[in-house]
Amino acid sequence: AIIDDDDAADAGASGAVLKFRRISREEAKPYENCVPLLDLKAAAGGFSPTQSVDEADHDWAELKGRHKPSDSLFVAQVVGESMNRRIPNGAWCLWRLHPAGTRQGKAVLAQHRDIQDPEHGGTYTVKVYESEKESDGDGSWKHTRIALKPDSDDATYEPIVLENLEDGELTIIAELVEVLG
């Protein structure tokens, strides 16, 4: 529910106050006063489906915090318990597309082209990124192992371990910037 006060924010499913406000398309000045609010249910339980969203058809989120809108940011909801120490089930999060620099130890939204979750059939997951690299002898390096690790108080969640990846097999779509509530 949207609270119509100037200083208020949306209330989440749990009743928590969110650090963003859903705004109308009429109010939206894309990437000036808002970022995309995607109806993307990024699963935090394993490689699970997300809905693809028509860029012209999404809602907009006005950020109520220290982050300035940009075309590299978006807001999406994370569903699942495998990241519940960092991201509560159902939380709305601010994400940065195509993160640069090290991803080591960061929560990321990842897509793997060949893994299909038998229950959900999707290829996306939210996990903590860890990698091992080796030099290929000419001054460059390659990943030998990538682990996408849960951060949950439920010990039944296991890391997704990927070895000897080919180019384009795993894509880090975005990194977590902030849990918005």
Identify which of 131, 118, 29, 10 has the alpha carbon closest to the alpha carbon of residue 71: 29
Identify which of 159, 20, 18 has the alpha carbon closest to the alpha carbon of residue 83: 159
Distance CA 138, CA 153 (A): 43
DSSP state letter for 2: B
CA dist 170 to 37, 40, 83, 123, 133, Å? 24, 19, 20, 10, 15
| Residue 67 CA to its chain's centroid (Å) | 16
Run means of pLDDT, 10 residues per run, the chain, 181 residues: 32 64 91 84 52 60 90 90 93 92 92 59 82 80 86 92 83 93 89
pTM of the predicted structure, to 2 decimals: 0.79
Residue 170 is predicted with a pLDDT of 86
pLDDT digits (tens, 9 = 90+) for 125-150: 899 999 988 777 787 777 789 999 99
